[in-house]
A and B are shown apart, each in its own frame.
Chain A
Amino acid sequence: MKKIFISTGILIMVLFTGLVQQSCTKLDEEVYSDYTGDLFFQDPGNLIYAFGVAYTNLYQVAGHKFGLIGFDCGTDITCVPQRGGDWFDGGEWHRWHRHTWTASEGYVQRWWNVLYYGVNTCNRLLLQFEPLEDVEPAIAELRALRALYYYWLIDIFGNVPIQDRFDVPADYKPANNTRLEVYNFIETELLEVMDDLSKETGLLYYGRINYYTAQMILAKLYLNAEVYTGTAQWTKAMNAADEIINSGKYNLSADFFDNFKEDASNSPEVILGVAFDQINARALEIHLFTLHYNLVDKYGFEDNSWNGICFQEAFFYSFEEDDYRLNGLLHGPQYDNEGNQIEDPSYEKFDPQNPTKPKDPDGPGLNLTPDLNMLEPNCLRQCGARVAKFPFIEGSDRYTGNDFPIFRYADVLLMKAEILLRTGNAGEAATFVNQVRSRAGVEPFGTVTYENLLAERGRELYVEGHRRSDMIRFGTYFDTRWEKTDVSPDYTKLWPIPQSALSVNENLQQNTGY
């Protein structure tokens, strides 16, 4: 017995000592479920998988309620009214509507981060692709895509840092560049890569930047050059638009709504599309953001809707009655699939304690009136026409799968018309505007004016994120309008640099006025 214990004891000691010697101070980290960075780019087959991230960021740019889809808040097109307790959210939507936003708004911070995530992802990929072979087209495409992110940055924030490298010291803190410097950077970049970009269109370039997308970015940049730099560039803008028009590769789609349906990749009109998908690209939430609570069952959605964004009254009435595009503004009494009017049990009733509080004029029957009784605090829950431009898809859950056109040909035609008008050629301008109007089924314009052209851009391009820069360019952005009693100061043409960015980078200066 004793011997057994002795030998066991000795055995244990020997085993322990052996273990100590074997792995005494080994501290390597073993990775099982990720691809370590140094190995990833050694396989050329991986490049396409790395490349995609630069583009998937566009889902965030376009689809989120603060993204392009909601970016007409603060203009004369949409708004998010406070409906009783709903949508107060600390007043962020009121401030957006009235241009009294602060540097701490969620949407300000989000736009900055999403756009620079795009810029930095392009920078990272440019660095990682640099040593590889046969990657010139990819590098050109990444630089053009980076220029697109900078196009939004110059438009929204103006004086932003030009960050064009990824390999910087850990404590590097870039300072602002002027809006002019950013303008020059975008122009130079696009011109430099232009010849390396593909002129192919169709499925391979649906959702990617080709030669014509780059021309479109240039055209947008030149169109707004006076706002960005003080110097107009109508000729350059004209040339860029003509590159697209004269190529003959794009046409208006037969049906206006073909550009916004579940799969818009066969529309001849889309220059840069974002292909949202309920399975693979989940970010578009407009269906929930806009619809009234009691419309979910009718459209077969598998989530609650939020009863948020709706159209402003004046915008609704700017449409002629037979304008086909008015179908994108859901309004009037709503019926279920059996033809019965839907009831809203939580409609506003008369409140004897607060007789002045608004009550729903026509009771529980759901009726989305184009008229809005107020912006806040007691906008009636059934007020406002809703965003139906993106045809609702049955079975949508938290996200829906429509495609979103970042750039499309109708915009090119309207830009062309605008440039002609601004360069004293109103007559020729009409032919371009009227192509767009004719598809909408409305009478052609006799004469094009700044006023009717801006209104037409609104009716064509609503909720696609163009309105803000259009109104600034036409000078109407700052004006008083419904529920905006003050003329907003000139500095509001730029958003503030977000507080969250300033607070971590002392080299960054806030935009003037904030």
Chain B
Amino acid sequence: MNSYLRNFLKAVFTGLFLGLGTIILLAQEKTISGVVTDAENRETLIGVNVTAATDRTIGTITDLDGNYRITVPDTVMALSFSFVGYATQTIEITSNTINVRLSPGQELMEVVVVGYGTQRTREVTSAVTSVKSEDFNEGNISDPIQLIQGKVAGLSIAKPGGDPNADFTIRLRGLSTFGANTEPLIVIDGVQGASLNSIDPQDIASMDVLKDASAAAIYGTRAASGVILITTKKGEIAKDGRLSNIEFSTSFTVESVARKLSVLSAEDYLTMPNATDFEDNTDWMDAITRDGVSQVYNLSLNGASKNSSYRVAFNYRKGNGIVLNTGFEQLNGRLNFMQKALNDKLTLNLNLSATLRDETYGALEALTFAARYNPTAPITADDDFSTEWGGYFQREAFYFFNPVAILEQNTLDGQKNEILGSLKADFEPIPGLVFSGFYSQNWRNQLYGQYWSKNSYWTPYAIGSHLGFARKETMDNFHQLFEFTGTYDRSFDKFNFKILGGYSWQENVFENFWAFGKGFLTDGFSYHNLGSASGELSNQEAMSSYKSSSTLIGFFARVNANWNDAVFMTANFRRDGSSMFGENNKWGNFPGISAGADIRRFVDIPLVNRLKIRGSYGITGNLPPEPYLSQLLFNITNESFFYNGQYIQAYAPVRVENPDLKWEMKKEWGVGLDFALWSYRVSGSLDYYNSLSTDLMFYARVPVPPYPSDRMWLNLGEMRNSGVEFSVSVLAVQQANFKYSTDLNLTKYFPTKLVRITNEISSATSLLELGWLGAPFLTGVRTIIVSESNQLPGYFNVIDSTYYINDPNFIGQIVAPIYTGLDSLGRLTFEDVDGDGTFNAQKDVRVVGNGLPKFQIGWGNTFTYKGAFMNFFIRGVFGHSLVNVNNSRYGVPVVMGVQSGMEQALDFIDATNGPVFSDVHVERADYVKLDNFALGYNFNLQDSKYISGLKIYIAGQNLFTITKYSGVEPEVRYGDSYDNNNPLAPGLDRENTYFRTRSLTVGINLMF
């Protein structure tokens, strides 16, 4: 980011912040009162929100008799009356008494975004959850997806550890693919496949989650993992006849380490038989961490008139991670503009956003080395060897590198720039008929730089080399989307129809370039003088450039029908074609249908306001993970051919091609129930879903011979998934001054079952062994199995243990030998599961856990008393286990030498051999967290002439976690981070886990 720009913005924001609060002046005001009743049964309504129409911070609620009394500034021209389950009404202030009748469930009910349009909540017949901005999580939020973490049943959002630059893993309704994209399709204001980085959390108005296949089918081949639709905030009519609303908010956050690795202290380490005493005392966990400070500034202007609106926002955030040399700085700007024309027949929408983000990563390998570094070693030293390596304490030993040196000596950073622009034109020639054209372009650029110092003893390229290594890389994604849709909305008496038809064309282009050099005269060049590299490299090692492109074309249609707001039906259809599919399978069809009926409209049930039952069925798809998998392509291989004294390049097929490659298919059915009770004070829904994914793409084993290499992309998998989701919102207390509401959502995940992973090309048995622990010490040790067959190879003797169901079809089954104690020689002994008289670490194993969760809970609570508010959100995930890889490697004294290890070694102080992976290293990782906590005050500033709203708050994140798991982070690991996040190998807590953090935020929001 340009540093002038940065400084300028800092100055502006700081100025604004300091200048505030001093200008609160008195103004004229008036008082209005009245009674609010139900339009149908004339009963008075308790707890109705009465606010100034233009400023929701000035308000009250109706009392036990439905009466209200509100004092507003003279400039307020209208009052707004809102109540859950009733249509909001805005009424002009014409006298001092205004009595209002609210109609339950009528036209202006809440809407949800469903893709290519919206639907009223009461009409929705599939599982869709909408979260509005007022219900978003608060506190130190830097990734938009955090806003709804825990809020949506069936949606899990996880990030192990507090790395500020790591992405969240998003998983909707469990796993439905293992070779393709496991994350939901993100749609931002209609732009499909947009990146969450292109949007600042402050600019989001709502997030809608299309959970089931019947709704998601409108997005065809990209919807199998669900769809999340994000709608940004739009301009609103400014209050008091001003031109614009201005909002400013800022917050400061301090983040600290919540949990570190349980490594041996210096004192404990010295009790190890092979300890080497360097006569100092360093807590390496402390040495590589710090408190991280973050700041956020947001400024937005918006306004609207009868036929136009705009909103402009600037957002700046800067965050330091708790590990040395990690952090980011981000500037984001957004413009949303709407203009009507042709006597309001034409509506033009223009959205533009730009994000500039700088990231510093730190060499996170340091975390891995810190787990083993000798606690008696000092951080710096002046002996010859240490001096040679920059004055950091270093010794020549296997896998023994000073972690502080790694973080401080080397540079790893990146810049991510993103521009997203879209233009939409809606033309309505006759009422109800709308033609729309939509075009968007998204450019994402990433630029990475790495420099490994000449004095860095360890580098990923060499150890002890004094060369210096530099690398620079750019990646560009260009995405273009063009869509043309037509909708027709017509009512006949009690029938209402809505028809949608459309065409979609999109193109993705990816370009990549990097260069690498080694051997630099000075560290001063960093990665800015690659041409001066003196070290010899092959061209392949020194540089690379690459380009790919793909096209996706879709035709789609939808029919919505509504009879008397009582019976509803939605049918979707999409036909998608992709250039990534093989020559023989270019086009796929994706239908979806759902229907529902509100029983309450037919039968009068006491206390019940709504009881809608619904059912759905749909087919969605998934694209191949990358282009060109279906084609025979040649490229150079890593090693060159020695020919007549020279090395010449060798070209070979890039992969075994598959011209039959096609989309994955997920067929899902579901039933659901939406309910509302006690005048809409209790509302919620219950859903059951069951999906079968077929033709799953997998880099499957094929026979060698006849195939030249043993893997190939095939559509051969089948997987079954099901679950139950329940959510309920309760407006528990609704008094004039005090309100309490609570939201609870529960998700039960049934085990994900692998049905098939073979076909006629790749057949016979189908056991997959995954989660290989690897070097050091544990080469050839796998931790996870999954099989399509109930009959495992004879040597597997997995027998039911007390808790876990013994079924090899379940994805994520962790298998391990069962530790039985030490023998007289101090050797670790294990159960001879197959009873053949000898223990074999590969064969004598049982299922000891599963990496995927069984149950998830989110529980939010909001209290308000006059202007004060408090809310907290508790989240729990249960049933998953984790392999504590650090313990499995470094949990016995035998591995200690110069290197230290984990506290677990104290429990095995008498062991004379090892390490052997066993059930000792697999732990249940159930947890309950206080995810968010916020306490604040909304000041009533109706008297002020200059400031219309002021909110101050403190918020905490991750304040406590209850778990029995002994590692740093009990969060679910949805994929193996050492195996491309392979989703078939969940449950491995690898050594590179960033520490868990907790944070405390102080913030202020101002409205002008």
Which A residues lie within 8 Å of B638 (CB)? Answer: 282
Indicate if the CB atoms of A90 and B781 lie closer than 8 Å.
yes
A304 near B: Cβ within 8 Å? Answer: yes
Docked complex: B450-494 residues within 8 A CB-CB of A: 461-465, 467, 482, 484
Contacts A92-B780, A294-B396 given; indicate if A279 touches B704 (C-beta within 8 A). no
Which A residues lie within 8 Å of B437 (CB)? Answer: 12-13, 16
Bound CA–CA A113/B708 (angstroms): 8
B961 near A: Cβ within 8 Å? Answer: no
Q: Which one of B578, B635, B704 lies within 8 Å of A112 (CB-CB)?
A: B704
Indicate if the CB atoms of A29 and B580 lie closer than 8 Å.
yes
Q: Which one of B627, B701, B779, B913 lies within 8 Å of A29 (CB-CB)?
A: B627
Which A residues lie within 8 Å of B767 (CB)? Answer: 503
Contacts A501-B703, A504-B702 given; indicate if A88 touches B777 (C-beta within 8 A). yes
Indicate if the CB atoms of B548 and A35 lie closer than 8 Å.
no
A52 near B: Cβ within 8 Å? Answer: yes
Interface size on A, residues (CB 8 A): 116
Chain A residue, CB-CB nearest to B278: A345
Indicate if the CB atoms of A32 and B547 lie closer than 8 Å.
yes
B5 near A: Cβ within 8 Å? Answer: no
A99: min CB distance to chain B, Å:
15
A173 near B: Cβ within 8 Å? Answer: yes
Contacts A349-B273, A356-B825 given; indicate if A500 touches B701 (C-beta within 8 A). yes
A203-211, A309-317, A406-414, A420-428: which lies at the B interface?
A: A203-211
Which A residues lie within 8 Å of B276 (CB)? Answer: 345-346
A117-125, A185-193, A383-391: which lies at the B interface?
A: A117-125
Contacts A102-B842, A500-B701 given; indicate if A55 touches B709 (C-beta within 8 A). no
Contacts A19-B482, A27-B577, A281-B642 given; indicate if A89 touches B780 (C-beta within 8 A). yes
Which A residues lie within 8 Å of B826 (CB)? Answer: 354, 357
Which A residues lie within 8 Å of B341 (CB)? Answer: 2, 5-6, 9
B287 near A: Cβ within 8 Å? Answer: no
Indicate if the CB atoms of B899 and A346 lie closer than 8 Å.
yes
Indicate if the CB atoms of A117 and B548 lie closer than 8 Å.
no
A400: min CB distance to chain B, Å:
13
Which A residues lie within 8 Å of B763 (CB)? Answer: 173, 504-506
Which B residues lie within 8 Å of A123 (CB)? Answer: 708
Contacts A85-B892, A279-B536, A354-B912 given; indicate if A349 touches B650 (C-beta within 8 A). no
B341: min CB distance to chain A, Å:
3
B525 near A: Cβ within 8 Å? Answer: no
Chain B residue, CB-CB nearest to A162: B705
Indicate if the CB atoms of A84 and B841 lie closer than 8 Å.
no
B652: min CB distance to chain A, Å:
4
Indicate if the CB atoms of A19 and B505 lie closer than 8 Å.
yes
Q: Which one of A265, A377, A504 lies within 8 Å of B762 (CB-CB)?
A: A504
The main secondary structure of chain B at its interface with chain A is loop
A163-171, A440-448, A463-471: which lies at the B interface?
A: A163-171
Bound CA–CA A351/B893 (angstroms): 11
Contacts A6-B342, A52-B643 given; indicate if A302 touches B464 (C-beta within 8 A). yes
B964: min CB distance to chain A, Å:
27
Bound CA–CA A297/B777 (angstroms): 23
Docked complex: B616-667 residues within 8 A CB-CB of A: 627-628, 630-635, 637-645, 647-654, 657
B502: min CB distance to chain A, Å:
11
Which B residues lie within 8 Å of A280 (CB)? Answer: 538, 639-640, 642, 647
Indicate if the CB atoms of A9 and B553 lie closer than 8 Å.
no
Bound CA–CA A203/B645 (angstroms): 6
Docked complex: A1-44 residues within 8 A CB-CB of B: 2, 5-6, 8-9, 12-13, 16-17, 19-20, 23-38, 40
Chain A residue, CB-CB nearest to B828: A377
A302-343 CB contact bits vs B (8 Å, 1 = yes)?
Answer: 111111000000000000000000000000000000000000
A485 near B: Cβ within 8 Å? Answer: no
A53 near B: Cβ within 8 Å? Answer: yes
B421 near A: Cβ within 8 Å? Answer: no
A232 near B: Cβ within 8 Å? Answer: no
Indicate if the CB atoms of A377 and B764 lie closer than 8 Å.
no
B529 near A: Cβ within 8 Å? Answer: no
Indicate if the CB atoms of B580 and A90 lie closer than 8 Å.
no
Contacts A49-B649, A52-B649, A504-B764 given; indicate if A35 touches B634 (C-beta within 8 A). yes
Indicate if the CB atoms of B649 and A346 lie closer than 8 Å.
no
B427 near A: Cβ within 8 Å? Answer: yes
Bound CA–CA A318/B694 (angstroms): 62
Bound CA–CA A55/B652 (angstroms): 12
Indicate if the CB atoms of B644 and A204 lie closer than 8 Å.
yes
Indicate if the CB atoms of A296 and B897 lie closer than 8 Å.
no
B849: min CB distance to chain A, Å:
20
Contacts A30-B549, A35-B635, A504-B764 given; indicate if A345 touches B395 (C-beta within 8 A). yes
A265: min CB distance to chain B, Å:
7
B257 near A: Cβ within 8 Å? Answer: no
B765 near A: Cβ within 8 Å? Answer: yes
Indicate if the CB atoms of B764 and A503 lie closer than 8 Å.
yes
Q: Which one of B644, B651, B781, B899 lies within 8 Å of A50 (CB-CB)?
A: B651
Bound CA–CA A438/B346 (angstroms): 99
Q: Which one of A29, A86, A172, A378 lies within 8 Å of B776 (CB-CB)?
A: A86
Indicate if the CB atoms of A9 and B342 lie closer than 8 Å.
yes
Which B residues lie within 8 Å of A277 (CB)? Answer: 640, 642, 647
B398 near A: Cβ within 8 Å? Answer: yes
A142: min CB distance to chain B, Å:
13
Indicate if the CB atoms of A303 and B463 lie closer than 8 Å.
yes
Contacts A13-B427, A506-B764 given; indicate if A265 touches B484 (C-beta within 8 A). no
B766: min CB distance to chain A, Å:
7
Contacts A53-B641, A306-B398 given; indicate if A279 touches B705 (C-beta within 8 A). no
Contacts A27-B586, A88-B915, A117-B709 given; indicate if A502 touches B764 (C-beta within 8 A). yes
Bound CA–CA A8/B348 (angstroms): 10
Indicate if the CB atoms of B579 and A27 lie closer than 8 Å.
yes
Bound CA–CA A93/B645 (angstroms): 37
Bound CA–CA A33/B626 (angstroms): 14
B546 near A: Cβ within 8 Å? Answer: yes
Q: Which one of A104, A165, A174, A346 lies within 8 Å of B898 (CB-CB)?
A: A346
Which B residues lie within 8 Å of A257 (CB)? Answer: none
A211: min CB distance to chain B, Å:
17
Bound CA–CA A338/B398 (angstroms): 22
Contacts A35-B633, A503-B767 given; indicate if A90 touches B779 (C-beta within 8 A). yes
Indicate if the CB atoms of A40 and B634 lie closer than 8 Å.
yes
Indicate if the CB atoms of B628 and A34 lie closer than 8 Å.
yes
Which B residues lie within 8 Å of A282 (CB)? Answer: 638-639
Which A residues lie within 8 Å of B653 (CB)? Answer: 37, 124
B721: min CB distance to chain A, Å:
25
Indicate if the CB atoms of A36 and B633 lie closer than 8 Å.
yes
Chain A residue, CB-CB nearest to B825: A356
Indicate if the CB atoms of A90 and B842 lie closer than 8 Å.
yes
Indicate if the CB atoms of A163 and B631 lie closer than 8 Å.
no
Indicate if the CB atoms of A29 and B910 lie closer than 8 Å.
no
Indicate if the CB atoms of A351 and B274 lie closer than 8 Å.
yes
Which A residues lie within 8 Å of B912 (CB)? Answer: 354, 356-357, 377-378
Docked complex: B693-718 residues within 8 A CB-CB of A: 701-710
12 contacts between A and B (CB under 8 A): A2-B342, A5-B348, A25-B553, A32-B549, A90-B780, A120-B709, A207-B642, A345-B898, A354-B912, A356-B825, A377-B894, A505-B703
A168-B706, A296-B396, A354-B826 are known; give 16 further A-B pairs, CB within 8 A.
A13-B437, A20-B503, A37-B632, A53-B637, A56-B637, A56-B639, A89-B777, A102-B795, A104-B842, A206-B645, A207-B643, A296-B463, A345-B898, A346-B899, A352-B273, A503-B765
Q: Which 3 A-B pairs have the closest CB atoms?
A: A52-B641, A346-B897, A37-B632
Residues of A within 8 A of B (CB): 2, 5-6, 8-9, 12-13, 16-17, 19-20, 23-38, 40, 46, 48-53, 55-56, 59, 84-86, 88-92, 102, 104-106, 112-113, 116-117, 119-121, 123-124, 161, 163, 165-166, 168, 170-174, 203-204, 206-208, 265, 275, 277, 279-283, 293-294, 296-297, 301-307, 345-346, 348-349, 351-354, 356-357, 377-378, 397-398, 499-506, 508
